[in-house]
Structure 1
Amino acid sequence: MRFEDFRELRQRQLRATPSLLDAAETNLYRALAALRPEPLADPGTVYRCDLARAWLRRFELPEEWSRRAMISRGVRHGLGLVFHRLRAVRARLWLPADVYPVYFELARAAGLAPGSYPTLPAPVLPSPPAGSPADDRPEYLLLANPSKPLGRYLSEAECDELVAWLDASPRRHLLIDSVYDLGAPFAAGTRRLLDTGRAVLLHSVTKGWLWPRTFGVVLLGPEQAELAEAFRADPPTPAQLRLADHLLTEHGDLPRQVADELDARARRLFDRLPPEVLDAIPGASRTSPGNYFFPVEIPAETLRHEYGVLALPAGVFGPTDWPGAILTSLADPFEGGTVGRVAGTLGPGVRR
């Protein structure tokens, strides 16, 4: 089922059965609108190199990497530029089948024909078909850490598998979408994969600062230096750069506040769930900080008919054979008034 179709179905089901517990809201920006800072009307000039260094300092990454820290307008923009380069070098691309359909839209728009691998109920890395001949094409695998809708970070064992996958061929590389990581520095698994020298990291202010399609950083690996010119030729606008500087310098604590609010909402969701449903959420997803996606190995129809809980079918995130569903903690019943109190601590320029 496409997400747009489910969104209409969700509204019909809530109207028909108002007693349903709505655990199917996905709009983070609407749920946390009171936390989102407004841009300042500042005519000053902000330079991309300064933002790159500020971003590296925030995430405790070496400042000498600044020449590889490309400024973008967000993860989508960054992936679009990377995918066009992969098409030019005839790279093979693997995408998670059940995470974010936009990955496939961007890849196909760039002229790629990506393969896929499942992440639900756990990631299963791709391998070439039996008997297929080896070739000299570059190979890239895109992953998200943390991953939605899995709702957790990569485990140590999964990082071991990814490192082994890289070690199997010098032409293999990773693309890491870290947009859901609200902490600083990045998660240990992300840092470990960066240390291989074979990973490209993508990050943005989309989730932590609630400003989608505005500003991001693509940290290129040592072997992707030729991509730098594409980013330099297609930068964010001066207004977007000023906003990014404002977010990083004046609202550096906002991602922690977003994570705290999401943790509070998750607890309210758990308090409302029937015990059988709560027990079906994996512990790693239940305890992952700042998470608002919770997979359960119970079909969405069963949740609705037997437990009075409205959830997202896993297929909304992409083709999957997994029969379970995804719960979220963003709907109004889980708000609890914390957002308004937190927003008041941010000072002028914050929506209330």
Structure 2
Amino acid sequence: MRFDEFQEFRERQLGADEALLDAAETNLYRALAALRPEAPAEAGTVYRCDLARTWLRRYGLPEEWSRRAMVSRGVRHGLDVVFRHLRLKQARVWLPADVYPVYFELAREAGLEPESYPTLPAPAWPSAPVDGRPEYLLLANPSKPLGRYLSGGECEALVSWLGESPGRRLLIDSVYDLGTPFDAGTQQLLETGRAVLLHSVTKGWLWPRTFGVVLLSPEDTELADAFRTDAPTPEQLSLAEHLLGEHGDLPQQVADELAVRAQRLFDRLPAEVRAAIPEESRTSPGNYFFPVDIPAERLRSEYGVLAIPMGVFGENDWPGSILTSLADAFGPTRLGDSSGI
């Protein structure tokens, strides 16, 4: 079932049964609309190099990396530029099969024929032998809908994968990481010198397709020109300066609100369903996706819970489903009231 088909199915189910618990909302921006900052009234002159250094300081990264910190219009834009470059290099590209269908859309639009690996119930990194081509593996940390950061063992396995060939690289989508600095696993992978990091203001500041940074690896700097000739607009740069400067604490507010919503979801779930959610997902900061090892049809028919079937996220034979905590039922009575955050 595709995402749009599931949305239609969800509306029909909720309309037919008012008692059904909606644990299938996915629109973060609608759920947290009251937290989203307004754009500045006027767009001043903002330089990309200054924004790049501001971003590096925020995440505790060396300022000398500023030549590798490419300003973009968000993760989608960053991936589009990277994928088109990888097509020219005739690279082999691995994408998570069950995270975000847009990854595959962008790759195919760029002329790539990506291969895939599953992330649920746990990531299974590719084991195919080296074939001589440049090889790039895209991962998300934290990973959705897995609903948690990568473990130490999973990061070590990625380091080993890199070590099997000098032509291997990682692409790390860190858009769901609301903390500072970035997760220890992300930092470990960056320290290999073989990872490209993609980040944006999409989740933490609730402004999609506006501003992001692509931190190139030391060996991928040939991508720099492609980003320099495809920059955000002056209005987007001014908004980014406003968000990073005037609303630096917003990602933590978002994480706090999501923690409240998650607990409200858990409180309303039957004990058997709640126990089927992995502890790592239940306790991951800022998480709103929760895998559960129970099919969506059974959750609906036996427990009165509307969940997202695994197939909505992509190809995966895992029989479980995904719960979310974004529906109105889990929101505070009044956003901004300290009793609800």
TM-score bin (small chain):
over 0.9
Q: Report what 2:252 is aligned to.
A: 256
Report the alpha carbon displacement of residue 339 of structure 1 after superposing the two structures with TM.
Answer: 2.2
Q: Is the 8 A contact 1:97 1:117 kept in 2?
A: yes
Q: Report what 2:9 is aligned to.
A: 9
Q: Could you report, residue by residue, the CA deviation over 1:36-82 in whole angstroms, capped at 9, with x for unpaired residues?
A: 00011224200000000000000000000000000000000000000
Report the alpha carbon displacement of residue 136 of structure 1 after superposing the two structures with TM.
Answer: 2.4
**Separation in structure 1 between the aligned mates of residue 43 and residue 247 of structure 2, nearest angstrom:** 19
Q: Could you report, residue by residue, the CA deviation over 1:191-247 in whole angstroms, capped at 9, with x for unpaired residues?
A: 000000000000000000000000000000011111000000000000000000000
How do 1:187-206 residues align onto structure 2 when only pairs under 5 Å count?
187-206=183-202
**Separation in structure 2 between the aligned mates of residue 338 and residue 207 of structure 1, nearest angstrom:** 21
Q: Could you report, residue by residue, the CA deviation over 1:94-128 in whole angstroms, capped at 9, with x for unpaired residues?
A: 00000000000000000000000000000001121
Q: Report what 2:291 is aligned to.
A: 295
SS in 2 for 1:339: coil
How do 1:77-92 residues align onto structure 2 when only pairs under 5 Å count?
77-92=77-92
Q: Identity rate of aligned residues, in percent?
A: 76
Report the alpha carbon displacement of residue 341 of structure 1 after superposing the two structures with TM.
Answer: 2.7
SS in 2 for 1:38: coil
Q: Is the 8 A contact 2:93 2:135 kept in 1?
A: yes
**Separation in structure 1 between the aligned mates of residue 199 and residue 334 of structure 2, nearest angstrom:** 27
| Greater than 6 Å deviation, 4+ residue runs | none
Q: Report what 1:67 is aligned to.
A: 67
For residue 207 of structure 1, the aligned residue among 197, 203, 211 is 203
**Separation in structure 2 between the aligned mates of residue 339 and residue 254 of structure 1, nearest angstrom:** 13
TM-score by length of 2: 0.98
How do 1:81-230 residues align onto structure 2 when only pairs under 5 Å count?
81-128=81-128, 134-230=130-226
Q: Could you report, residue by residue, the CA deviation over 1:131-168 in whole angstroms, capped at 9, with x for unpaired residues?
A: xxx53210000000001000000000100110000011
**Separation in structure 2 between the aligned mates of residue 252 and residue 340 of structure 1, nearest angstrom:** 17
**Separation in structure 2 between the aligned mates of residue 305 and residue 229 of structure 1, nearest angstrom:** 54
- Gaps (5+ residues) in structure 1? 346-352
Query: Over aligned residues, Cα RMSD in angstroms?
Result: 1.3
SS in 2 for 1:218: strand
Q: Is the 8 A contact 1:31 1:332 kept in 2?
A: yes
**Separation in structure 1 between the aligned mates of residue 324 and residue 99 of structure 2, nearest angstrom:** 14
TM-score by length of 1: 0.95
**Separation in structure 2 between the aligned mates of residue 91 and residue 246 of structure 1, nearest angstrom:** 38
Report the alpha carbon displacement of residue 338 of structure 1 after superposing the two structures with TM.
Answer: 5.2
How do 1:328-343 residues align onto structure 2 when only pairs under 5 Å count?
328-337=324-333, 339-341=335-337
Q: Is the 8 A contact 1:95 1:143 kept in 2?
A: yes
**Separation in structure 1 between the aligned mates of residue 183 and residue 171 of structure 2, nearest angstrom:** 15
Q: Is the 8 A contact 2:255 2:286 kept in 1?
A: yes
SS in 2 for 1:71: strand
Report the alpha carbon displacement of residue 336 of structure 1 after superposing the two structures with TM.
Answer: 1.9
Amino acid at match of 1:189: G
**Separation in structure 2 between the aligned mates of residue 283 and residue 160 of structure 1, nearest angstrom:** 21
For residue 270 of structure 1, the aligned residue among 266, 269, 290 is 266
**Separation in structure 2 between the aligned mates of residue 43 and residue 138 of structure 1, nearest angstrom:** 41
